Structure 1
Amino acid sequence: MSRQGARPTPLPPGVKVDFNTLKAPAGYVAGAGRGAAGFTTRSDIGPSMPAPDAVKDKGDEGADESKFDAFLGNDAGVLGQTGVYDEEDREADEVWDHIEDRMDERRKEKREAKLKEELEKFRAENPKISEQFADLKRKLADVPVDQWEAIPDIGDYTIKKQKHLDRFTPVPDSLLASAAAREATATAIDASGLATPMGGTTTDLTAIGAGRNTVVQLKLDKISDSVSGQTVVDPKGYLTDLKSVTLKSDAEISDIKKARLLLKSVIQTNPRHAPGWIAAARLEEVAGKLQQARELMMKGCELCPSNEDVWLEAARLQTPENAKAILARGVAALPDSVKLWMQAARLEQSDGAKKRVLLRALERIPQSVRLWKAVVEISEEDDARVLLSRAVECCPQHVELWLALARLETYENARKVLNKARQVVPTSAEVWITASKLEEANGQAAMPEIEKIIPRGIKSLAANDVVIDRDWWLKEAESSEKSQPPMAATCRAIVKEVVGHGVEEQDRKRTWMADAEECMRRGSIETARAIYAHALSVFPGKKSIWRRAAQLEKAHGSREGLDALLKKAVQYCPQAEVLWLMAAKEKWLSGDVAGARSILEEAFIRNPDAEEIWLAAFKVEFENSELDRARLILAKAREHQPASTARVWMKSAMVEREAGDAGAERGLLQEGIRRFPYFWKMHIMLGQLEERLGNTDAARLAYAAGIKRCMDAIALWVAAARLEERAGNVAKARALLEQARLKNPKTPQLWLAAVRTELRAQNAKAADALMAKALQDCPDSGVLWAESINMAPRPQRKSRSVDALKKCNDDPHVVAAVAGLFWSDRKVDKARSWFNRAVTLNPDVGDFWAAYYKFESQFGGPEQQEAVLRRFLAAEPRYGEHWQCIAKDPASAHQRQEVLLRQVVADLDREL
């Protein structure tokens, strides 16, 4: 396209035109389109010819507006003079603009990359102050508190001399004399002074000194005086006591004065207002004027004798002896005040004196439960029984008095007391619960009476319009379980009656399971067991309830109870394979192999097609080194079509591997692969078999066939790469792992295998580069971050661990790596805490337990090692790189868990 309005005549194809030989058009001026007016020479200064229309002065307001173009403005050039800017020209400009934008986009990435590279180079050469000290700032988190506090203050190093505003002037004797005159109490007028010509008296320095001593003595008396009666100043501790004196600021003194005026107005306006007197006295106490506070409260007692708070406040401010006198006056004025009598009893030193005061109080206030409880607490058992007998007569509606009396009585008398209490207080649930506990505590648990008390109680309470609170009754069941001695029968009776109260029928199973879990979390095992028992009585065919109940018995019950429970479970749920397996396993763990076999035989009859039952029977024989019986069971399973699964063929090969028959093992694996070509474990077992026999090519073919069928089997890719690496083909191993990453993107295990391949090949830089790419591809992978921490140089491990915790704080691999970092730094407590956190987050990884046990073997005692071993045996781990290498080794077959743990610990030592 052209910028001119006229479109030129197109030339035939293949014809070229030499534009230099063409004649210029009429009126053509070179450069006119760019604003040029002509050409000049040295001898001829100025334009050779005038422009077609010279542009007028820019300041001229009469410029030619006809030359203005919407696209080019006043500088329209040739188009403004000779042509018209039409839609075709605009379209051409848009095309050129798009081309320019496209070219700019093509250069953008390269330009931005270059800019980024220059910026990174600049930042590397000129780091920020914060970046230079980043590692030091991280170390500040480990600085203990005592070192922080030991940092000295920098002091004042200002150059300018500061203006001191404080001025200290000695106090003249005239002020001391005036202070002595104000503070001293004069009893007579002394006119012994010498008269002066002006009619005054001369200054007596001796009197001034005596007055000053009087003022100081009065202040010391005020400081030393207290409610406890101390009026003597300790000469040795005098300076120490002065430090405890609070110096009030001017603002505080001003606030005290304002409050004093306000409260003075209150007590003068309404002298019968007791809170005003109390507030005024406490203000004076805060101000350090204890004597004034006492005087105010005594006036308050005179003006408000019917308010018990005034008497209590006055007694609090006095010494103990004076307080007794004040309280005596108080109880004379208010003989029915329980607070005054209780305070008077507290002031007595001996229990006998307290008892006398309380008995006198009960003569005036026999219906006070608080007084009865106080006097019973300080009485002997026989006296307490007599007092409680009188108390229940005076306060028959208070259940706690009846219960206290029942606890002190004999069994027969206690039953009578509780029966009478039920009649007097028919709305009390505590009486019924106590009656049930009484029967259980006296050996009546086997009687049906104990199972009748709680139902009768609930029925009686409902008849008396008492709302049955399910949660409250369940808490009482837990309290019965945790009482001393435990009341298990009462607990079960309460649960049986109230656990279904107010629960919708469709929500019963879910609600009961939640209740049982909450009770287990709080340690109320018997309550949870009772809830499961009731749930099983309602839903006997629910295998999930049986499983949870069995887990409870296994963790907190006896082996006999667990066997009985599982025996009932398989009777009610004969099709539940997991219950049969649990029953057989418990028999096997207890050493009863014959019992486990009998359970599995019965399970075969009920579930002939269950793969798990066949494999469980095989495991019993295999773990007891009965290879012939195990081989026979698996042969029958392979012949039985529903049970002939890939796992059965794999276990058959494992038996032959244990027996050492490589040919039979190969045949079983090849037949199993033919039947189940996508079961990757048999492919890897075949490759491992060929590796053990030294057939590298056959192993390579086995791995290749497995990868071809199971491209998502990461273990196959890693095994094939390790085979090539051991054969010396590191390049081929790299290629295999790279191909695996293309087929299985964002897989941390493949990145980890590639990094370790480079580390074993002594290519540290390549390993670091691969680790950087791996963390970009899988930024949340704990195994990669843990390996990155272990790969980092020692000074950088701490910062690397901080970065790892930011990305995946709760990943057990990262936590275990951080624990190892603390271990290497000899920070024992922190390392122990982090190892405990790692095994808590994922107890199925045996490597964590091995590292934890090794740490405790080095730094812990026998008790700590035993605790770790006990937790390890309960966890029964199955995973972990080192753990699986040891546990699946044929040489370690049939070994106990603790033996395997020590072998893994030894393997960790060899790696270190």
Structure 2
Amino acid sequence: MQDGRAPRCYPGTAIVTCGSSTKPRTEHLYRLQLNNFFGMPKNVKSPSFAPQNNALKISRNSMSIEVESVKSSRSESGRQGGASRNGCNTQTGRHVIASQGEFARSRSVFERALDVDPRSVQLWLSYTEMELKGRNVQHSRNLFDRAVTLLPRVDQLWYKYVYLEELLQNVPGARQVFERWMQWEPDDKAWQAYIKLEQRYNESDRASAIYERWVAIRPEPRVWVKWGKFEEERGKLDKAREVFQTALEFFGDDEEQVEKAQAVFNAFAKMETRLKEHERARVIYKFALSRLPRSKSASLYAAYTKFEKQHGSRSALESTVLGKRRIQYEDELAQDGRNYDVWFDYARLEEGALQDLRDEGTSADEEEKAIGRVREIYERAVGQVPPGGEKRHWRRYIFLWLNYALFEEIETKDFSRARQIYQTAITLVPHKQFTFAKLWIMFARFEVRRLDLPAARKVLGAAIGMCPKEALFKGYIQLEFDLREFDRVRKLYEKYLEFDPTNSSAWIKYAELETQLEDFNRTRAIFELGVAQAQISMPELLWKAYIDFETEEGEREKARALYERLIGLSGHVKVWISYALFEAEAMPLPRSQREEDEGEDADEVPMVEGDVILARQVFQRGYNDLKSKGLKSERVALLEVWKTFEEKNGSPDDVAKVQAMFPIVSRKRNVDEESGQVVEEWDMVFADDERESNPTTFRFLQMAHAWSQARKTGQGASVLSGFTAASNPSATETHRDDTSDVASSNGDEDS
């Protein structure tokens, strides 16, 4: 053979050889030789010869199995390049041979199979297993040695080899195998297995040396962390610190390397925390976080936050939470830079941090740095200008400028910078398309706080001249009103009404101003100008304000005249109701007739009682007007208020009179000409309408009302019989459907 060993031969024969230099015979010749060798009489009856015959049969079977094994190995090599399809049968044959004590033959079979496929891991494992079952330990060692030499990258062979040596209590041998294995720089599991071997035999120094070799070959953060934890667990704290420090020196201060070494920093800090060295741990955390961008250190920040919650002070914890929130906001802004809600939250976060520093009494440098961070956030935020020229995109954005200006004015007292912020924001807004009144007004209010009234008026004047709108006029008017510049307020109202004469609210506010100034003639003139406008928004509000003004002044005649004018213009049911109630209500004495007595309380104003009769007349006029217009639902609404009025101010007869005016809800059936189907229609039938148009129906409605009232008092049956008897046959036949409908409606005159 190639390794110098003698050829293997089967015992008891010189015909079959198996040396590597012997040329393999064909299967036919091999079987022929076996038949000649085992050629014996088949019918042997001599008892003395039976044992020999049985032995020969066993040998014949063994040789046949061997032939099948060689044949199978050759055929498998040709078809699959060494992969066994009939491996179970082949290995079974080998183990049968071994189980019969024929180890030499079994080895021969395995050797021939290895000649065919020397890289079959399963073949090597089966070979060694056979030897171990036969307690041939040295053979197994030799086989493992040959296997790992041929296949050094197959970890399974190394693990079996090491396990064998340790099982035999040959620790130096196992260590030697590991050393051979480590020369091939295997994966981490192999190094870990080597270290565990040394730990099982309390060889901690050897394990530490293995860790050192491991990190030299594969300097990954997880290896450094495992080494440091190992040194900590065995009580070598200085060595553990040295390991972590060496790891940090190895990775350096580069951002990318520090990001990679976050696990090392975290493990180092946690070790110091377990050792009660909280300041050391805090320094480690801060050192790492100061060299990492906020977006790449989320996990380390989380660990630091947890550390501060457990062992830090309140200020340190707040600082940690602050850093974590910064990372969160930066991540959100990286996804959408125009998310203005996040910018608001971010700016408030930094402003809160600044306030906390001031409350703690920090140094001027720290405070200046905090102010710089706030300004940086605002500058980045206002730099995200909305796209397009639509106002809805600018609504949230413009408040960033306003908050920025307020921060500079209130927190930093940098008034020139605040003024510059307002001016920049005004320049940025496209005023030809839209404007923001709040921006102009807050700028003007800022100038007022700086005691520069001309500058404030100049700002608002420019705003009205450039882009006039209602909010700007209101803001400017309120400013002058607060300054008690009433002449300027009047001029502004005049400009306001010139800009929008259809705005009823402007007319009302202008009149209220004159009322407060007790210039009642100007008030009436303003109201008259307002109601005289051909087109005005919500004129009912202006009329109501005018009437309320005259009522407060005690001018009943003037208020009555206004009601009459308003009825002539609209005739709405609400106007009639308000007019009627106005006549019944008490009102103050006219201002011209009020004379304050010396002993009389000035706060008490003498009142003039209303006229109930005039109120009833107005109700009746309104009812007749609505009746003439054919407005049935409006008539019902007026009757309901009228009934409530009579219940409060009238007699039972007055209430009954109004009650009799309520309609009856009737149901009519008509045949649709197009579809031919019966259609039901609901209608309100008023008694006075039927009295004029159909006296018979009026009599019917009277009886229906009587039946409805009697049913409420429990006498419905007798009244209903009288009603039936009183109805003539023709009327009953004509209105049969209506009668049933009235009965079904239960006489609910409030419907």
TM range (shorter): 0.3 to 0.5
> Which structure has more RCO (C-alpha within 8 Å, separation ≥ 6)?
2
Answer with 1 or 2: which has the greater Rg.
2
The TM-score with structure 2 as length reference comes to 0.34
The TM-score with structure 1 as length reference comes to 0.29
